[in-house]
Amino acid sequence: MLSASWSKPLNATEDWMNGGFGLYIHWPFCQAKCPYCDFNSHVVNSIDHQRWTTAYLSEIDRIADETQGRVLNSVFFGGGTPSMMHPDTVAAIIEKLKSRWSCANDLEITLEANPTSVEAGRFKGYRDGGVSRISMGIQSLRDEPLRLLGRLHSVAEAKQAFDIARKTFDRISFDLIYARQYQTADDWKAELSEALAMSVDHLSLYQLTVEDGTAFGTRFAAGKLPGLPSEDLGAELYEITQEFCEQAGMPAYEVSNHASDMAWSRHNLIYWRYGDYAGIGPGAHGRLTLNNQRMATTTPLAPTEWLKRVEEFGNGEDPRELIKAKDQALEALLMGLRLSEGVSIRRIETIFNGILDPSKLEYLGDLGLISIDQDRLQVSPKGRPVLNGVLRELTA
């Protein structure tokens, strides 16, 4: 895991250094839109890869000009389906960013991939271009749930792609979704045991969430999404997840992320430890501290609009918004309490003094939902399943 840089006593304008500096590259294209997905992804007939490469390189130059002197800790290619990118595009982006920033000795460069046989064949090209970590969207190790989730791959294809990734990269993670339609506790125990036996050091395990604006959301509203688990079964599946992962030496270091020691996702830690990160690409978000002000950055969702702005105006961002100190403290609190390590009370109060109400801390502590150990505020194992409620109480 990363060193505990969050413990350094920094003033509010330097606060981002507690989490580090990262770069997020959003590739917006997919082969198909999954019915549960609420990310910014688009299905298109053709892609001009050279045009997109030029746009990404232009945006890297623009951001680098604003953040000179920083050390880049991590890069994340997300989407969409970044494994649809040409390896030459990925290599050109990595070469450019390494020429514009000083990079940490342990710079982590992650690329999300879908486990189809065609995309798996690109893994060597990504590795040679500088990618050091693969995050695979397997989602299930059972064929029928994959069909219900709208995935294009089979279990056999997923395992084949995973085997190729394991032979190509030192660091591999994959995602699974549980609390799916018709899933039982015994089903999940068997599937999770199989996943944990696949020699990985990091798993992202998400409970299925039906989001408004997705195909699943529309079906659910119409009463056409049968077989979803009851609240009690959902809670049981969560407890199974914690128990099995702990026994396998991969405890939860974040609400949905499980890893062995030293295998925590360094890029995601920048988010959860409330560092600075630049977001490049359609729909990418960012947090940047510039001229002693922390700014929220967004970009247009539509790929054509983002590309047009970069090409015609040299800037793919929407107008930036200043984040007030109180909101910064709330964001740092909301993100940090997702981590098992919790947050530094001194850090939160340095950003905005008085944001933590002692009476609420006492109330939640009496309920056994949080704990305070010297400077560390943490959500307890009892409080983790009801994290959203704990956060609402703290921030109300």
Provide the residue type at 348 as one letter: I
Strand partners, 371: 378
DSSP 168-184: H-SEEEEEEEES-TT--
Pick the last residue of a domain from 272, 301, 332: 272
Residues 16 and 118 reside in one and the same domain: yes
Q: Does 34 score more than 60 pLDDT?
A: yes
Residues 117 and 229 reside in one and the same domain: yes
Residues 245 and 143 reside in one and the same domain: yes
Residue 315: alpha-carbon gap to chain centroid? 25
State the pLDDT confidence band at 233, using cuts at 50, 70 and 90.
Answer: very high
Could you give the number of structural domains in the chain?
Answer: 2
The answer to whether the beta carbons of residues 60 and 100 sit under 8 Å apart is yes
pLDDT tens-digit profile of 43-93? 877 899 999 999 999 999 999 999 999 999 999 999 989 999 999 999 999
Domain CATH code at residue 130: 3.20.20.70
Mean pLDDT to the nearest integer, 124-150: 96
CA distance 268 to 266: 6
pLDDT tens-digit profile of 109-128? 999 999 886 677 899 999 99
Mean pLDDT to the nearest integer, 98-106: 97
CB atoms within 10 A of CB 80: 24
> Is residue 310 domain-resident?
no
Pick the last residue of a domain from 272, 300, 328: 272
Look up the pTM and report it.
0.93
Most confident of 44-53, 173-182, 213-222: 173-182
> Is residue 351 domain-resident?
yes
Greatest C-alpha distance within the chain: 59
What six digits make up the tokens of 141? 């190790």
Residues 268 and 344 reside in one and the same domain: no
pLDDT confidence of residue 198: 92
Q: Of all residues in the chain, what percent carry a pLDDT higher than 90?
A: 84
> Is residue 325 domain-resident?
no
The residue segments making up the domain with residue 384 are: 340-396
> Is residue 265 domain-resident?
yes
Contacts of 29 (CB under 8 A, 6+ apart): 41, 42, 43, 44, 47, 79, 80, 81, 84, 303
Residues 266 and 362 reside in one and the same domain: no
Mean pLDDT to the nearest integer, 191-217: 92
CA distance 325 to 312: 34
pLDDT confidence of residue 213: 87
State the pLDDT confidence band at 292, using cuts at 50, 70 and 90.
Answer: very high
> Is residue 169 domain-resident?
yes
Contacts of 125 (CB under 8 A, 6+ apart): 87, 88, 90, 91
> Is residue 293 domain-resident?
no
> Is residue 308 domain-resident?
no
pLDDT confidence of residue 329: 96
pLDDT confidence of residue 214: 87
pLDDT tens-digit profile of 340-375? 999 999 999 999 999 999 999 999 999 999 999 999
Mean pLDDT for all residues in the chain: 93
State the pLDDT confidence band at 1, using cuts at 50, 70 and 90.
Answer: very low
The answer to whether the beta carbons of residues 207 and 179 sit under 8 Å apart is yes
Residues 347 and 256 reside in one and the same domain: no
> Is residue 296 domain-resident?
no
Residue linked to tokens 């305070």: 372
